[in-house]
Structure 1
């Protein structure tokens, strides 16, 4: 069977200033937990969602669904779910529990916009790229979130990914259909500034590992 011939646009590199702006967004992006209220304009929010929606996805399945949450009572209920899981995580961490509890994990009640990201039902119908690796729906949705994160930095906004919650409880609160799965709560909005390095590094929880420890030749090499 012959393959379809692709069409191309010219593969010209970006101008140096444009290229540097891309790398700047990558290196200055932060998982933000401190917000300063304010608002995100409808136009900016549309640009961010368009950036997410232009992410790559395995088999072009586009497995991302965004729920905008503006109701304060629902936000408080979500915050309570996160706090419940925060306490459970602290208990599971054992001797690092106190250290963990001192770290701010989210800005659900402070951010201008709160978005939930969910995988839709019916994902099993997408076989292309998922037959042996069904988790590629999650990987694809993570690409959409990363696109939004970088776009938020370019807009001068902060974004934080909250994953400390019980998926079943959050799904029930958001009335997700059977087969759907929440994967993220995104806190978005103006921030007082950006952390000079990842917040968990600032807090001493972990540090960035050297790139050389992540790269190998040909086969897996024990370090």
Structure 2
């Protein structure tokens, strides 16, 4: 199936306009058909050995969100102590989650034993199933953006908080907790770039040809 120029441009537009959303969530629920499309896109991510190790826990209960928010506040306070001076004060001012504001939370997990102990493609690089689950997150994120839904990845929370709140077995790895919902607007630039935390790195600086660096002559 050939991709038309219009379809190609829509994919690039979605990629370049994707944002990590932490604010401006609307309380309106996500229609069932929209959510099903987003989750189906996530489920079609590439996976090592076609093991499809991911699962998606949908979180709407205020009590669950409140517990996860408390876990964020604890981890956020711990993280602040690792910065110094103005950087620490800047960190504390940043809005880094929308756990209670977003109408939906999605916890993405990875079952590393889903298809047995030996997985095609994971024998030399055992973490490939974790990477596969991250691909599912990216698919979900881009599909959500195509549906004009905002997504924010909350990484400043300890796994135990999410595990205890959502009753996730110890045998299951937690990959991501995502805040999902419609938003007032999508910004042209990422929050952290606008806040002056870091600039976007030029793409050319990330591209290497043949070697990371030229090999040393012997």
TM-score (norm: length of structure 2): 0.92
How big is the alpha-carbon RMSD for the aligned residues of Structure 1 and Structure 2? 1.5
Structure 1 gaps, min length 5: 1-9
Runs of 4+ in 1 over 6 A off after TM superposition: none
Residue 73 (structure 2) pairs with residue 83 (structure 1): yes
The alignment partner of 1:92 has SS state of coil
Q: 2:110 aligns with which of 113, 116, 119?
A: 119
**1:49 aligned residue:** 39
Q: 1:39 aligns with which of 29, 34, 38?
A: 29
Structure 2 gaps, min length 5: none
**For residues 171 and 131 of structure 1, what CA distance do their matches in structure 2 show?**
28
Q: Is the 8 A contact 1:85 1:164 kept in 2?
A: yes
Give the deviation of 1:121 after TM superposition.
Answer: 5.1
Q: Is the 8 A contact 2:112 2:129 kept in 1?
A: no
**For residues 165 and 130 of structure 1, what CA distance do their matches in structure 2 show?**
28
Give the deviation of 1:126 after TM superposition.
Answer: 4.3
**2:135 aligned residue:** 143
Give the deviation of 1:119 after TM superposition.
Answer: 1.4
Q: Is the 8 A contact 1:82 1:164 kept in 2?
A: yes
Residue 30 (structure 2) pairs with residue 30 (structure 1): no
The alignment partner of 2:82 has SS state of helix
TM-score (norm: length of structure 1): 0.90
Aligned residues: 211
**Where do 1:57-96 residues align within 5 Å?**
57-95=47-85, 96=87
